[in-house]
Amino acid sequence: MFNLHNKNAVVTGAGSGIGKSVALLFAQQGATVHVADLNEKQANDTVNEITAAGGKAFAHILDVSDQAKVVGIFQQVAVIDILVNSAGISHIGKADTTSEEDVDRLLKVNVKGLYNCLYAAIPLMKKNNGGVILNMSSIAAIVGIPDRFAYSMTKGAVAAMTLSVAKDYLADNIRCNCISPARVHTAFVDGFLAKNYPGKEAEMFEKLSKTQPIGRMAKPDEIAHLVLYLCSPEASFITGCDYPIDGGFVKLNN
């Protein structure tokens, strides 16, 4: 089950965090993985880890907000069976404490960057008689999260783009879904705590972990397994859906 042999997958943000876990799992399941990331070292580290395990992967240094570069790299890949839009950035702030520059920065990556990848990949998928797209949304698009105004706004856009693409390309055999994780323990979380709560990292980590009713943050691998299912042939009847993967956050936090 969940065999990705002979599939070409592009994973953005695959140099670290969830994107990296997705890339490693896809390669383990037989896909040729195109690791797209802004950080050259991290992209190469992911590729090296895949090839050391006997998989096949290629690194692409990519700023998803640059449409010309996205189109150029995707055309080099040529055949894209699976696209996972995992690249994204966050920001702390409310509507009246978030600067215009920060709004523009998040829109540039989280919204325009995802659009650029859709713009570049969909024509290739149509030419190839179909494909699968998985977008990374967030529970912040579903419920109110304190101090996440700009981030929540962009993830709401991701959910809307997912529905639009799923509807528009039904006849082209292109499926499009998104998932909405709650907090996931990645290096980003550790860096955030070190920067904003020096000396109180363990205390704040515990506090953030317990906001999930299940009592902990997710592991990147747990997110990757849901991505694998939705991108596999076993999920061929699923399109236009959002899947919270949140330790009970949305339904059980009352």
Paired tokens of 186: 């990645």
Q: Give CATH for domain 8-182+220-252.
A: 3.40.50.720
pLDDT digit string (tens) for 37-81? 999 999 999 999 999 999 999 999 999 999 999 999 999 999 999
Predicted local distance difference test score (pLDDT) of residue 188: 82
pLDDT band (50, 70, 90) for residue 187? confident
Task: Supply the mean pLDDT for the chain.
Answer: 96
- Domain map of the chain by residue range? 8-182+220-252
Cβ neighbors of 162 (< 8 A, separation 6 or more) are: 133, 135, 137, 176, 177, 178, 240, 242
Question: Parallel, antiparallel, or unpaired: how do β-strands 82-85 and 56-61 relate?
Answer: unpaired
- pLDDT, tens digit, 9 for 90 and up, residues 204-217: 999 999 999 999 99
Residue of 187 and 119 predicted with greater confidence: 119
Percentage, residues of the chain above pLDDT 70 = 100
Can you give the pLDDT at residue 28?
98
Would you say residue 219 has pLDDT above 80? yes
Q: How does strand 242-245 pair with strand 174-181? A: parallel
CB atoms < 10 A from the CB of 69, how many?
A: 16
Write down the pLDDT at residue 253. Answer: 81
Q: Which of the four pLDDT bands, split at 50, 70 and 90, describes residue 166?
A: very high
Q: For residue 1, is pLDDT > 70? A: yes
State the catalytic residues: 151
